[in-house]
């Protein structure tokens, strides 16, 4: 029996635990009202909701003497990554950091195709992430600072291809710099030593409606893609026609929790994820430097 303490939605995580192979007890906690007993009787702690490093969280950290998994982007900015790693070193709890997009069924299928080399060596990665201006995108409005969702896509490209870029070029629509457009529109171009490339686009300048994501990868032996357009369903109701997107539901969180539970049961080391994210933040810094200088930037990662 595995006992997880989660700062998440109760109804959602009731659905999640029903999909797990191992018996799991999920305790929901409110990070703003820490209760020591919630952490005393758990085997691991999972942070999935947006949090900031305020007084309440500082009260929680000394209590986390179990394995802690944090979803990347569940903080308000990537500056808080340093706080997490420092806290893990200070209080001695094992820390792992993951991108929830790894656990989308569509992304897992693509990753499997790439891992087994069925597509050959990746040559081109193309991503779009479009959000409406009312969605929560985190605290990133400083000039030349990348939005959190775009950094998540940079990490996703690294995870899918298994390659680190050696050249980064980022550009932003000129209207965003003069406030002529609401929101921002940014593109990041990654160049790889094998001649491959990735082009990742982000915009939160759309006025209303659901967001849109697409991903396509061309390899030397084949291609694969995932597109939200394929998930749209037409609904005729009251003489009106609407397009509704079929979401992947609780499955990503169920996949995440299952991998976490399996790691706990088998005493696996998840700490390399922290090193991986340290390299991704180097990539983020290089992209921001390119955005400010309007020049390509060379990148070295460990």
The yes-or-no verdict on residue 244 having pLDDT over 90 is no
Work out the number of other CB atoms within 10 angstroms of the CB of residue 153: 24
Degrees, nearest 5: CA angle 178-182-184: 80
Considering all CA atoms of the chain, what is the largest pairwise distance in Å, rounded to the nearest integer? 61
- Closest C-alpha among 71, 107, 98 to residue 213: 107
Percent of the chain with pLDDT over 70: 83
Per-residue pLDDT tens for 125-141?
999 998 876 555 554 55
The yes-or-no verdict on residue 65 having pLDDT over 60 is yes
pTM over 0.75: yes
Per-residue pLDDT tens for 39-50?
888 889 998 887
The tally of CA atoms less than 13 A away on the side-chain side of residue 245 is 11
- Closest C-alpha among 287, 284, 302, 291 to residue 79: 284
Q: Give SS3 for 131.
A: strand
* 176 confidence band (pLDDT: 50, 70, 90): very low
For the chain, list the domains and their CATH numbers: 2-99+253-270 (3.40.50.720), 102-246+279-298 (3.30.360.10)
Q: Give SS3 for 93.
A: coil
**What pLDDT is attached to residue 177?**
47
* 282 confidence band (pLDDT: 50, 70, 90): very high
Could you list the beta-strand ranges (E) of 21-172: 24-28, 44-47, 67-71, 95-98, 122-132, 167-172
The yes-or-no verdict on residue 178 having pLDDT over 50 is no
């Amino acid at each position: 029996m595995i006992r997880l303490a989660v700062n998440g939605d109760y109804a959602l995580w009731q659905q999640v635990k029903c999909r797990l192979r191992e018996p799991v007890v999920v305790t929901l906690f409110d990070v703003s009202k820490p209760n020591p007993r919630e952490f005393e009787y758990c085997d691991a702690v999972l942070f999935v909701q947006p949090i900031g490093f305020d007084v309440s969280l500082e009260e929680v950290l000394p209590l986390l003497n179990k394995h802690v998994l944090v979803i990347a982007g569940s903080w308000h900015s990537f500056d808080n990554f340093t706080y997490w790693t420092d806290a893990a070193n200070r209080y001695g709890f094992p820390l792992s950091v993951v991108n929830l997009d790894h656990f989308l069924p569509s992304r897992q299928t693509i990753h499997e195709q790439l891992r087994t080399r069925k597509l050959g060596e990746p040559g081109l990665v193309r991503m779009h992430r479009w959000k409406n201006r009312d969605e929560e995108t985190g605290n990133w409005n400083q000039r030349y600072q990348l939005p959190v969702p775009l950094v998540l896509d940079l990490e996703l490209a690294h995870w899918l291809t298994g390659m680190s870029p050696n050249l980064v070029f980022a550009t932003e629509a000129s209207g965003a710099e003069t406030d002529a457009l609401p929101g921002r529109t940014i593109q990041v171009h990654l160049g790889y030593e094998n001649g491959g490339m990735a082009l990742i686009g982000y915009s939160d300048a759309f006025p209303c409606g659901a967001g849109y994501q697409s991903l396509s990868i061309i390899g030397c032996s084949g291609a694969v893609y995932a597109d939200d357009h394929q998930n749209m369903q037409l609904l005729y109701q009251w003489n009106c026609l609407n397009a509704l997107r079929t979401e992947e539901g609780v499955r990503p969180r169920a996949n995440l929790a299952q991998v976490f539970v399996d790691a706990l049961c088998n005493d696996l080391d998840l700490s390399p994820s922290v090193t991986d994210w340290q390299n991704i933040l180097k990539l983020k810094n290089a992209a921001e430097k390119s955005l400010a200088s309007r020049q390509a930037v060379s990148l070295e990662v460990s």
